[in-house]
């Protein structure tokens, strides 16, 4: 994903996924990876099976494409959010957590597949995905530790607090619905407040 495609880290336009990946995403969300056939994905994408294989040589390649797209977009948005925030750890924390929350609402299906189908990745692909996921976690870990050092945060267990915040943000993808009682911005405000409390933000 290029900077032009991404725009500002708070803005989400339509999906940038290819037709095969879009088809695979909808099928995996509805039926799971193992419950979906390549023929069904091809049909949803308006392609023949050989035509699908021309773009993606296997169902595993489609899953890797989706999960890599998810983590790369999330990392790019989070990196930009931190860079554009103020210098204080508390400001950077707010920006990165907001980025996590927005992604898991606006890209809920993509994020859901990313968190539930890791078990379906082949070992080498799983290792690559986990490396990207850990990079995202280390970003937040570093900010929380900076906040402890600066006095912005008072969490007695900073590593655990950071993981708890990430887990909560990731979990939003499993239940968020666009037609729910709270708008995206309202939900982000509520969960950002909870996240600050988890790390013992000093206000």
Over residues 25-63, the pLDDT tens digits come to 999 999 999 999 999 999 999 999 999 999 999 999 999
- For the entire predicted model, the pTM comes to 0.92
Q: Please state, rounded to an integer, the average pLDDT across all residues of the chain.
A: 94
Domains of the chain, CATH where assigned = 59-198 (1.10.357.10)
Max CA-CA distance within the chain?
59
For residue 7, name the pLDDT band (cuts at 50, 70, 90): low
Collapsing DSSP to helix, strand or coil, 157 comes out as coil
Q: Which residues contact 31 (CB under 8 A, 6 or more apart)?
A: none
Q: What is the pLDDT of residue 69?
A: 95
């Amino acid at each position: 994903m290029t900077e032009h495609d991404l725009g500002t880290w708070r803005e989400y336009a339509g999906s940038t996924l290819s037709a095969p990946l879009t088809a695979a995403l909808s099928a995996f969300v509805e039926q799971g990876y193992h419950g979906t056939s390549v023929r069904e994905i091809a049909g949803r994408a308006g392609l023949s099976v050989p035509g699908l294989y021309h773009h993606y040589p296997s169902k595993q390649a489609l899953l890797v494409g989706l999960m890599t797209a998810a983590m790369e977009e999330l990392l790019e948005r989070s990196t930009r959010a931190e860079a554009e925030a103020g210098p204080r750890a508390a400001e950077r924390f707010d920006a990165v957590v907001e980025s996590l929350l927005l992604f898991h609402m606006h890209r809920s299906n993509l994020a859901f597949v990313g968190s539930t189908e890791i078990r379906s990745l082949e070992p080498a692909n799983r290792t690559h995905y986990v490396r990207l996921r850990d990079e995202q976690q280390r970003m937040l870990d570093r900010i929380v530790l900076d906040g402890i050092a600066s006095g912005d945060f008072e969490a007695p267990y900073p590593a655990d607090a950071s993981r708890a915040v990430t887990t909560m943000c990731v979990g939003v993808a499993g239940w968020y619905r666009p037609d729910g009682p709270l708008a995206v911005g309202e939900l982000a405000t509520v969960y950002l407040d909870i996240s600050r409390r988890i790390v013992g933000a000093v206000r």
